[in-house]
Structure 1
Amino acid sequence: MPDLPSGLTWLALLLPFVAALVAPVLTARLGAAAAWCLALFPALAFLHFLSILPEIASGGRITGGFAWVPSLNLSFSWLLDGLSLTFALLITGIGTLIVLYAGGYMKGHPQQGRFFSYILLFMGAMLGVVVSDSFLMLFVYWELTSITSFLLIGFDHTREASRRAALQALVVTGGGGLVLLAGLIFIWNITGISQLSLLLSTGDILRESPFYLAALLLVLGGAFTKSAQFPFHFWLPNAMEAPTPVSAYLHSATMVKAGVYLLMRLNPVMGGTPAWEILLPFFGGITLLVGGVLAVRQTDLKLMLAYTTVASLGLLVMLTGFDTPYAVEAAVLYLVAHSLFKGGLFMVAGIIDHETGTRDIRLLGGLRRLMPITFAAALLGGISMAGLPPLFGFLAKEEIYAALAGANPRAILFTAVAVIGNALMFVIAFAVGLKPFIGAETKTPKHAHEGPVLLWLGPLTLALLALVGALFSGMVHRFISSPMASAVDGASQTVSVGLIPHIGMPLALSLLTVVLGILLYRGLDRLRAGVDRLVTGLGLSPDRGFDHLVSGLVRLSVRVTGVIHNGRLEVYITTTFILLALVLLVTPVVYGELPAMPAWPANLSLVEAAFLTIAVIGVAAVLSARDRLTAIVCLGIQGFALAVLFLLYGAPDLSFTQFMVETLSVVILALVMTRLRLSPTDHRPLIARLLDGAAAVACGVGFALLLIRATEAPFDATLTEFFAAYSKAIAHGANVVNVIIVDFRGVDTLGEISVVMITGLAILALIRIRVGTAAPTASVVSPPSGSFGEVKGKKKGRGK
């Protein structure tokens, strides 16, 4: 496929973020009219993507971007082909309608400007996910969708249910994003490629790698959490706590399809293996059934649609992993159809709630006379969701059965799963799109009437697009379906299904689905009660499991923190030195890197022996000192002896530094010790002394072995020659040591200065503490109620 110039694609990607930046100001100044202005931003992006359809349909693709860190092969780049362009059109097109819809739905809300900013930020993030070419860009935008969805789900942050749902979605999808990052790193290491456009041309490199399964499982972890596959499906229905524009956009048409997009994108290089063809249909099929069954249990319109979204995502994953000729085409058609009918039906549910004051299907009826435009949009959306002609959903359902139907046991099993799942979605389609509007009028909390144009414009437009798309399917296939299917399959595909059904098994299965759906719809109340008894009897709830997991992690963290962070400095220091000693001693033993013991020098001079003896005497003096002040003074003996040895071996600069450091250390520590009110002697028990002594000796021996092993290696003069050659030329300094410290290691020196400064401030704080003022100061701030306060109270009591 030829690569085409990127043109204004970078501007189209930037427009949602610009709109998010100006949204609060425009909303504050223009009020309800701000929705029309803000909708222009995604509309312009949509027109740009629409303008490049002919180039993509002819087999081209658009790439662009710039190198970010060339040495690490990291870039900020994008890729537009049939797959990413279709998603970009859905995101910007439906996004335009959602912005208008939110203008009517959120009218008068004091935080409407903030809401617009959040949803436009999400739009930009989701757009970035589907057009990303580089792995880095994909991951950054992937996690940004999790963050912005967290803000949108928890928009009504005064409600506990909203906060919980937002946190749950962030934990599940954000955690899945980290798993995906690991998978992308695996793919990068296997192929040496960090761009999708290049990865797609690598053939079987990934599939033939011994690490293929590990990479696949990590990628599936990211995709399954984002697209709410079983057992991670529970976060999506809970996300219905968000305002309806969020549900209509994030959780039906865009965000939840990010995982499906990723699987479709990687299908050419990771698909076609036994693992792919087992895991995806298995989990997709389970998700389809679980979502469909739980949907009929609900009475809230949004929850009914949310669980069918879970089911639809399972169907898409199942089709993506299937290995029959029509499977990719069916997945492509159903993805487009689902975005149209589910986005519209969610908006219909929001209109009903907005105008009647309830979403409970048991309290709704007879709305067709009061809300005729909404009824038309709902009915068309329901027909498409049910897979009936002449809507686009019918084309998708026909292709699904053409892809799954077969005589082998595997085909029969998944065909049965699809029939049952589609029948359950048939029930919900008419339960939402028809049932509230027929029958006798019911009394609702608010007097029902048709909503304003901003509310019904979106669902009516999507419903008409589903109708027009089916009537003119040839044009849709040419510009949308075929290029998208070709990108997913990795080879040229031509989609040709139309309103004339497949004669044979697909048509028979379609009729079976309709008959089964009608029967279940007529007994919806009994079906709902039966499913409720079944689910209640099983007592299985991944949602409750998530709560138990989080509470268990909290309890574990409290226990671990209580052990390793108990507020006692001596425990921290002892633990640090023990771990350091283990690293220094265990590692060389395990890897056979112990040094050979050096021989005693035969030509040791009298002066060298004298100062070495002085150092040993200094150590003995420290160990035998009866008070801390004497120990500090004796500690300087070794430092001075070592400084003389440096001087004897031709390192006057290092010797002078050592003299200064030892002098200052002894003086400062002595002054500090005279100002602090500490016990003059060490009252540690014998066991504590032995433990501390053993840790100290182990660290000393470990460092000695490390230094001896380092000196045994051949001397590498590379750095020596470099500094000698460039100190004068680059840093204009004749003293090589000074140049290294000030110029070549300037940042390191700055860090050392910072450490000394922080240490000085800490010492100053210790000196200024007085026993007479410490206790009253501690009692000014009362600890919170509970165990923490009790512990602090006990500690203060012991201090007294």
Structure 2
Amino acid sequence: MHQEWVTLTVLFLPFVGALLAPFLTRFLNHQAAWPLAIVPALCFLHFTGFIGTVSSGQTVTGGYPWFESLDVDFSWLIDGLSLTFALLVTGIGTLIVLYAGGYLKGHPHLGRFFSFILLFMGAMQGLVVSDSFLMLFVFWELTSITSFLLIGFDHAREASRRAAIQALMVTGLGGLSLLAGLLLIWNITGANALSTLLEQGSALRDAPLYLAALLLILGGAFTKSAQFPLHFWLPNAMEAPTPVSAYLHSATMVKAGVYLLMRLNPVMGDTVAWETILPLFGGATLLVGALLGIRQTDLKLMLAYTTVASLGLLVMLTGFGSETAIEAAVLYLVAHAMFKGALFMVAGIIDHETGTRDVRKLGGIGKAMPITFAAAVLAACSMGGLPPFAGFLAKEEIYAGLGFANGWTILLTIVAFIGNALMFALGFAVALKPFTGEKVETPKKPHEGPALLWLGPVVLAALGLVFALLSTFSHGIISTPMASAVAGEPVSVSISVIPHIGLPLLLSLLTVALGVIIFIRLTSAREAMASTLQAIGWGPDRGFDQAIRGIIRLSALVTNRFQNGRLEFYLTATLGLLAASILIPMIALGELPVLPDFPDLRFYEWAVFLIAGIGLAAVLWARDRLTAVVSLGIQGFAVAMLFMLFGAPDLSFTQFMVETLSVVILALVLTRLNLQPSDHRPLGQKLLDVTIASFCGAGLGLLLLRVTQVPFNAGLSDFYAQYSRVIAHGRNVVNVIIVDFRGLDTLGEISVVMITGLAILALIRVATPRSTKTAAPAKKSEA
């Protein structure tokens, strides 16, 4: 129980840090990064305490009741997969907070940035350890909202605002798809938590609605992890400050979709649909991302497109289906988080200390920035898959997992080979081009940044080396537990830095050779890719803008057509739909009521009906609207008299008051507004109105008759009668219902009446000056 309370505290700790960040920054400025970094560091230390338990094959669960009526808990699931992600989120998050303190030093909104990054960290941490579906969805959407705030942090720039809105719309729509998928899975299996779902084996795969659930889940995962053709939002998100790019788009948010696919692999994988859709879209994303990256000259965009490619590779491996491919996906995910986070921070340091990120305007800054240069080279070696780095382990396992078993696997291996070679070239372009060669004049004189800037990339680049050199230890605490969780069965990862002679090693060597060739001919490759893209012209990013413009035009068309400002049109449409919604289902489903026999009426009952008939005739034959309104009140008085005759004096009194007030208020409004004194509608309009009114009246009457013919359930009435005196201490059951049992409804009704009164008052006050102004000239002319 103590551990559960600590875990719960850790899950909310980043949100507490977000509240404190502006205050600390106000007093400590950028040095607030040091105390704020303690927040993710404490979370990281807490999760390291689960390593021993998880590495032994056990799973840690816990939580507290949330919505007990729906059997939903605020619960968490910590196994090899969630623990690895939690360590990446909190560990890299610690370095990012420190890095942001140096990168945004002196920024007027640094405190707000710290709040946003800690909010995002808390959302991502909650997402990866969530067990209940509802908790997963809430944190999933919270990552979209907080990433919107981070991407649009420089809100004065139009490009930042556009990128933030684009990311929010794409991932937000994916979130709705995810919600629908989770609800469908809940309906299929009865499980509302991941731990329960994972225990059901193939129950979900064997269900008739499996494909529908899969497509909905993929809608959420593919938007979050930027799979083709929904990849365009991620490179545009580079408009955010570099600490955001280094965190969200290398180690956390963009991998949320991959996490979801890995999490559901044991219950949704091993099907034809899974092993076709994921490799197909993942492979396409890998090639598109790598090829588009060749075109870029901005360091961050080069890295952003390689992130798109890497996400495609992870999705392709997750969907491939073999145990070795899963091991490769796990290794690559961890390696990618380290080398890509380091390279993004390197790109930020270069921009911060030279004033530019354009690779064509950089060169020869290695001597001025030796620490950054070393970190960049180490990270690029891992990204390129060179031994003895973590990226080498991943690349060897990728080729071993795909193999050459058949035409499909050969095709995927070729795709992986081309993608890896392109990413090799781009990784070393970022790591070598700015630092080597002839020195180029830059906007700022290059120099090494402060420790807050280079600490993060140095640590991550070094970890990429340590992870591979200590592979036996690394696999024991990270790779093996994570691969076992993704596979849904025990898996042992054993690959080391010692090359395995065979096809994987040969493909690795060929990848390096092709990558070196592309690196040497990078300028020519960039020009060729630019010409190709120019010839193609259209792309998903432009399509997004076209889709938004189309939605705006459609909304304007619909608004102008249906919201034309004419009250009579609104009433006609509303009442017409009301009549159709009542009569059509009743007729189509055979639910029309049995018409009752006409009862024998006493003389005073006939008198009430006669009064109602006189009132109706008066309304129809009224020469002006004011007379019609006053005559309409006769109908309400007749109904009030019926209530009185049938022993409901309270309802009768209420009806009298409502009718009286309605007539008075409407008459007051009509005398103040400049309305036509009589009805000038054409005959066709009158016939249409009569028809709609008749159908509405008939529909409501038939509906009430049908309701009265349903067997009466006295359960609610008995409840009120039994507990009105005991609980609410009232003898008048009706009053108790209105004031106590339905007090909130009564408050809402009172609020509606109040707002209506204010609206009427506003109409009167607006109409009065207008009538006065129009009357003045008339008097002047008479004079």
Q: Check the 8 A contact 1:5/1:64 in 2, yes or no.
A: no
Matches within 5 A, 1:685-696: 685-696=682-693
**Corresponding position of 1:276:** 274
SS at match of 1:63: strand
Distance 1:743 1:20 in 2: 41
**Corresponding position of 1:299:** 297
Deviation at 1:4, TM superposition (A): 11
**Corresponding position of 1:761:** 758
**Corresponding position of 1:468:** 466
| TM-score, L = length of structure 1 | 0.94
**Corresponding position of 2:488:** 490
Higher mean C-alpha displacement, 428-437 vs 223-232: 428-437
Letter in 1 for 2:598: W
**Structure-2 change in CA distance of 1:281 and 1:27 (3 Å):** same
Which residue, 444, 451, 454 being the options, matches 1:453? 451
Q: Check the 8 A contact 1:4/1:62 in 2, yes or no.
A: no
Deviation at 1:635, TM superposition (A): 1.9
Which residue, 38, 47, 57 being the options, matches 1:40? 38
Deviation at 1:362, TM superposition (A): 1.5
**Corresponding position of 1:57:** 55
Deviation at 1:7, TM superposition (A): 5.4
Distance 1:334 1:205 in 2: 30
Deviation at 1:762, TM superposition (A): 2.5
Letter in 1 for 2:766: I
Distance 1:83 1:722 in 2: 51
Q: Check the 8 A contact 2:61/2:78 in 1, yes or no.
A: yes
Letter in 2 for 1:734: R
- The alignment status of 1:105 with 2:74, answered yes or no, reads no
SS at match of 2:543: helix
Q: Check the 8 A contact 2:672/2:768 in 1, yes or no.
A: no
**Structure-2 change in CA distance of 1:265 and 1:776 (3 Å):** farther
SS at match of 1:64: strand
**Corresponding position of 1:661:** 658
| TM-score, L = length of structure 2 | 0.96
SS at match of 2:205: helix
Distance 2:535 2:281 in 1: 23
Distance 1:431 1:662 in 2: 81
SS at match of 1:540: coil
Offset from partner CA, 1:666-722 (integer Å, 9 cap, x none)? 344344444444333222222222222222111101101101111222233323333
Distance 1:391 1:128 in 2: 30
**Corresponding position of 1:784:** none
Which residue, 203, 220, 229 being the options, matches 2:227? 229
Higher mean C-alpha displacement, 702-711 vs 29-38: 29-38
**Structure-2 change in CA distance of 1:528 and 1:654 (3 Å):** same
Deviation at 1:23, TM superposition (A): 1.4
SS at match of 2:713: coil
Which residue, 706, 709, 718 being the options, matches 2:706? 709
SS at match of 2:61: strand
Distance 1:395 1:52 in 2: 25
Deviation at 1:347, TM superposition (A): 0.7
**Corresponding position of 1:355:** 353
**Corresponding position of 1:391:** 389
Q: Check the 8 A contact 1:91/1:123 in 2, yes or no.
A: yes
- The alignment status of 1:155 with 2:158, answered yes or no, reads no
Deviation at 1:238, TM superposition (A): 0.7
**Corresponding position of 1:134:** 132
Q: Check the 8 A contact 2:672/2:767 in 1, yes or no.
A: no
Distance 1:322 1:216 in 2: 16
Letter in 1 for 2:446: A
Q: Check the 8 A contact 2:323/2:487 in 1, yes or no.
A: no
Distance 2:674 2:510 in 1: 89
Deviation at 1:30, TM superposition (A): 1.2
**Corresponding position of 1:184:** 182
- Count, aligned residues: 774
Deviation at 1:196, TM superposition (A): 1.0
**Corresponding position of 2:779:** none
Letter in 2 for 1:405: G
**Corresponding position of 1:345:** 343
Letter in 1 for 2:632: L
Unpaired runs of 5+ residues, structure 1, are 778-800
Offset from partner CA, 1:514-569 (integer Å, 9 cap, x none)? 11111211211111111111121122311000010011111111111112222222
Q: Check the 8 A contact 2:30/2:110 in 1, yes or no.
A: no
**Corresponding position of 1:317:** 315
Offset from partner CA, 1:717-762 (integer Å, 9 cap, x none)? 3233333323322333333333333333333333332222222222
Letter in 2 for 1:228: A
**Structure-2 change in CA distance of 1:476 and 1:718 (3 Å):** same
**Corresponding position of 1:697:** 694
Letter in 2 for 1:452: P
Offset from partner CA, 1:403-432 (integer Å, 9 cap, x none)? 001221111010000000001011111111
**Corresponding position of 1:370:** 368
Offset from partner CA, 1:371-397 (integer Å, 9 cap, x none)? 111111111101000001011100000
Q: Check the 8 A contact 1:190/1:209 in 2, yes or no.
A: yes
**Structure-2 change in CA distance of 1:752 and 1:26 (3 Å):** closer
Letter in 1 for 2:100: A
**Structure-2 change in CA distance of 1:428 and 1:774 (3 Å):** farther
SS at match of 2:4: coil
**Corresponding position of 1:525:** 523
Distance 2:423 2:668 in 1: 80
**Corresponding position of 2:119:** 121
**Corresponding position of 2:409:** 411
Which residue, 741, 744, 748 being the options, matches 2:741? 744
**Corresponding position of 1:580:** 578
**Structure-2 change in CA distance of 1:465 and 1:556 (3 Å):** same
**Structure-2 change in CA distance of 1:593 and 1:484 (3 Å):** same
Deviation at 1:79, TM superposition (A): 1.3
**Corresponding position of 1:216:** 214
Identity of aligned residues (%): 68
Offset from partner CA, 1:467-515 (integer Å, 9 cap, x none)? 1111100000000000101111111111000011222111111111111
Q: Check the 8 A contact 1:4/1:61 in 2, yes or no.
A: no
Deviation at 1:662, TM superposition (A): 2.8
Distance 2:18 2:231 in 1: 29
Which residue, 620, 629, 632 being the options, matches 1:623? 620
Letter in 1 for 2:712: F
Letter in 2 for 1:618: G
**Structure-2 change in CA distance of 1:676 and 1:548 (3 Å):** closer
Deviation at 1:5, TM superposition (A): 4.8
Distance 1:41 1:68 in 2: 25
Matches within 5 A, 1:521-560: 521-560=519-558
Letter in 2 for 1:514: V
Deviation at 1:253, TM superposition (A): 1.2
Distance 1:376 1:747 in 2: 66
Higher mean C-alpha displacement, 300-309 vs 103-112: 103-112
Deviation at 1:771, TM superposition (A): 5.3
Distance 1:59 1:635 in 2: 78
Deviation at 1:90, TM superposition (A): 0.6
**Corresponding position of 2:676:** 679
Distance 1:770 1:535 in 2: 61
Find runs of 4+ consecutive structure 1 residues off by over 6 angstroms.
774-777
RMSD of aligned Cα (Å): 1.8
Letter in 1 for 2:245: S
**Corresponding position of 1:642:** 639
**Corresponding position of 2:83:** 85
Offset from partner CA, 1:408-459 (integer Å, 9 cap, x none)? 1111010000000001011111111122222222222211121111111111
Distance 2:715 2:119 in 1: 51
**Corresponding position of 1:308:** 306
**Corresponding position of 1:205:** 203
Q: Check the 8 A contact 1:79/1:132 in 2, yes or no.
A: yes
Offset from partner CA, 1:326-363 (integer Å, 9 cap, x none)? 01110000000000000001111111111111111122
Distance 2:253 2:701 in 1: 57
Offset from partner CA, 1:290-309 (integer Å, 9 cap, x none)? 01111111111111110000
Higher mean C-alpha displacement, 572-581 vs 701-710: 572-581
Q: Check the 8 A contact 1:64/1:78 in 2, yes or no.
A: yes
**Corresponding position of 1:170:** 168
Which residue, 703, 715, 725 being the options, matches 2:722? 725
